[in-house]
Amino acid sequence: MRFLIPLISSSITSGHYRITSRLLSAHLTKPQRSTLHPFFNCQPPSMAASEESLRKALAEKQSAVEAHGNAVRALKAAKASKQEIDAAIEALNSLKLEKSSIEKQLHAAVSGSDGDGALSREAFRQAAVNTLERRLFYIPSFKIYRGVAGLYDYGPPGCAVKSNVLAFWRQHFVLEENMLEVDCPCVTPEVVLKASGHVDKFTDLMVKDEKTGTCYRADHLLKDFCNEKLQKDLTISAEKAAELKHVLATLDDLSAEALGAKIKEYGITAPDTKNPLSDPYPFNLMFQTSIGPSGLSPGYMRPETAQGIFVNFKDLYYYNGNKLPFAAAQIGQAFRNEISPRQGLLRVREFTLAEIEHFVDPEDKSHPKYSEVVDLEFLMFPRDEQMSGQSAKKILLGDAVSKGTVNNETLGYFIGRVYLFLTRLGIDKDRLRFRQHLANEMAHYAADCWDAEIECSYGWIECVGIADRSAYDLRAHSDKSGVPLVAAEKFSEPREVEKLVIAPVKKELGLAFKGSQKNVVEALEAMNEKEALEMKAALESKGEVEFYVCTLGKIVPIKKNMVSISKEKKKEHQRVFTPSVIEPSFGIGRIIYCLFEHSFYTRPSKAGDEQLNVFRFPPLVAPIKCTVFPLVQNQQYEDVAKVISKSLTTAGISHKIDITGTSIGKRYARTDELGVPFAITVDSTKDVTIRERDSKLQVRVGVEEAALVVKSVTDGLRTWEDVWEKYPHHTSGSADD
């Protein structure tokens, strides 16, 4: 049996919300059915074309209005008859009305408002955030002292949601994949982060107000300018709109010089003072500290949890029986001194990361469980489509891997597992896409990188990064510490192998490149066999070759005396190698905020005089699974409620008893606003009603069965549909009495 439940949907282009109806099972507990919460759907090409055609139509109509205005003035100057002038004025007014109509359509297409009472993105966000803060899901930290930008406290329901998300993360990844979980300190010695590259390169580009010294993140200013132009300036041409959209699509690919040039080209100034801005320059995002009272041991608050895993690789490899592949995982706090924190939980200075480092043989990146995800189909956004201005499209994961769009099976496997994790949490699959990094976003050593991006009222937000980081991290720590972080494959019989040896001559490179020597050495050592042999041939024939160094962003000359490239044959009893690492990194706060938005909607009260807020959390992540209400203040009913409460506690079901004298409808509304999926109402001593939040349907269940029924549904052993079919329906009064 299926029921009609009102859901809210929209398009990314129009940005407005429409109330629609969709056939939906009465309760969504199975993972694949818990994602139907759309506010913004992904933008199909036809909608993008619609905005472009509206801009062109507006430009043509504006030209027509100006031409007719000139014609009216000409008729008046020529002292034409009143009848001719009136007819011309009537035609002009008609054109103005048509122009106004196109302006309204275009405004709806770009600003998120349709003029019919539907919520705009901003209004929806404000309604959701007001509810979240009022119900104490999260609030600004140190609020009585006016708060500090980029710091937030989770209240009781927020803590419960976060705890449930992390518990499911452990179940879905750590337990399912037999990962090794570690917990490392937040304070990290400088030498560790120097080796990883964070001390030198963990930066964002910043600009300063040249008069006041106020700092801004450069790419955010450009992004805000482009979005505001697109949404509020209806007079820009279709060509200019396409240019601004291309800037937004390739924003992460812009160098400091290109970013500064765009800021100057568009005349962007300081938002608060309109003063001119400095050229962009890098700002290191780490919080610096010192370890110990002397101040002689510098350190940093860790910007990620991954380094703690890398430095422990040798011990973890031994713990795992000296076998690959294996994965290590860590959940913990990370710290980034954001230039201009904004967007609530999406960009903060302290946050929770859940990271996985999957160590694998670089010569074998297959995965034994890859077949479990190969048939998944979801929105993917490869770099070629981004650069050509196309939109994300649904692609079979197996096709993406087999065609080389995704670099290898293990990377593809984790992309699939991340998709399943997010959709089972309650993220709408139609507002989730996997975007491949552009060339300039990837480090020179990375084989491939994808971001799981979730669309919310702020646009597309990167929430999970899934990267094949090659062997860079372990090599970097091996070089700096002198401890070999390697794995070995033992052969049953000795093998004669031919090995490629790339030996940069550091003395010559140092003389030639001075401070950039390390970048050039790393780039040379990172060459694959084909690149190295091509360089060897070119050096032997010409004596010099041009070589592109990604980390420097330029081509440098390499001479024959700067590097030795050869192939050597030798017998080996084992192959010693530095493992590659596949790294899925989860921003838990970002995922939770997007889940809040995807779950939030409003519906009219029974009287129809107000809109009630609801969070449609799946039972998996709901902060409270069930509430228990005595229908009226009655000692017998309260005693039954306490019995049911004890049963729920024994079953491990989080719940809350409400014995206030408030009407049952108001109590339902209060718990709907917290996202509680079930409510048990005690109206007799023998049986009770169980109400499901989204359908508001109720069944009659015996007192002794109530806790078991709720537990079976919250644990996913059966659905609300199963419960509805098995138990008598409660029909006295409406479902939300």
Q: Coil, helix or strand for 380?
A: strand
Closest CA to 205 of 79, 306, 339: 339
The residues of the chain that CATH labels 3.40.50.800 are 624-726
pLDDT tens digits, 497-506: 888 899 999 9
Side chain identity at 292, as an amino acid letter?
Answer: G
DSSP string, 271-337: TTT---BPPPEEEE-PPEEESSTTS-SEEEE-S-SHHHHHHTHHHHHHHTTS-SSEEEEEEEEEE--
- What are the residue ranges of CATH 3.30.720.200 in the chain? 493-577
Residues 17/118, Cβ–Cβ less than 8 Å: yes
What are the φ/ψ torsions at residue 426 (nearest 5 degrees)? 125, 10
- 710: enclosing H helix or E strand: helix 706-714
3-state secondary structure 68-129: HHHHHHHHHHCCCCHHHHHHHHHHHHHHHHHHHHHHHHHHHHHHCCCCCCCCCHHHHHHHHH
- Torsion angle defined by CA atoms of residues 182, 163, 302 and 325, in that order, rounded to the nearest 10 degrees: 40
Q: Is 425 helix (H, G, I), strand (E, B) or coil?
A: helix
In this prediction, residue 526 carries a pLDDT of: 86
pLDDT score of 433 more than 90: yes
Residues 6+ apart with CB under 8 A from 139: 133, 152, 153, 155
Distance between CA atoms of residues 369 and 304, nearest Å: 28
**202-223 pLDDT per residue, tens:** 888 999 999 999 999 999 999 9
Record: fold of 493-577: 3.30.720
Contact between 37 and 137 (Cβ < 8 Å)? no
Q: Which of 496, 476, 493 is nearest to 485 (CA)?
A: 476
pLDDT, tens digit, 9 for 90 and up, residues 39-92: 433 333 333 446 667 777 777 878 888 888 888 888 888 888 888 888 888 888
CB 306 within 8 A of CB 357: yes
Average pLDDT, the chain: 86
Q: Which residue has the tokens 């980029």?
A: 150
Portions of the chain given CATH number 1.10.287: 45-111
pTM confidence score? 0.77
Half-sphere exposure in the Cβ direction for 235 (13 Å, CA): 2
Query: Out of 152-166, 388-402, 435-449, 695-709, which region has the weakest mean confidence (pLDDT)?
Result: 435-449
Per-residue pLDDT for 36 more than 80?
no
Token pair recorded at residue 58: 């507006």
CATH class of the structural domain 45-111: mainly alpha
3-class DSSP state of 571: strand
Q: State the average pLDDT over residues 159-169.
A: 97
- In degrees and rounded to multiples of 5, residue 495 shows phi and psi of -120, 140
Q: How far is CA 21 from CA 5, 125, 377, 438, in A?
A: 6, 22, 25, 39
Under the banding of pLDDT at 50, 70 and 90, the label for residue 110 is low
pLDDT band at 125 (very low <50, low <70, confident <90, very high): very high
The yes-or-no verdict on residue 369 having pLDDT over 50 is yes
Rounded distance between C-alpha atoms, residue 11 and residue 28, angstroms: 24
Residues 6 or more apart in contact with residue 166 via CB below 8 angstroms: 331, 352, 354, 588
Predicted confidence (pLDDT) per residue in 323-367, tens digit = 999 999 999 999 999 988 888 899 999 999 999 999 999 999 999
Q: Which CATH superfamily is domain 624-726 in?
A: Anticodon-binding domain (3.40.50.800)
Task: Give me the residue label for tokens 């590259």.
Answer: 197
**DSSP tag of 150:** T
Q: Is the pLDDT assigned to residue 735 strictly greater than 50?
A: no
Inter-axis angle of helices 218-232 and 82-111, nearest 10: 140
- Helices 45-77, 82-111: crossing angle, 10 deg rounding: 160
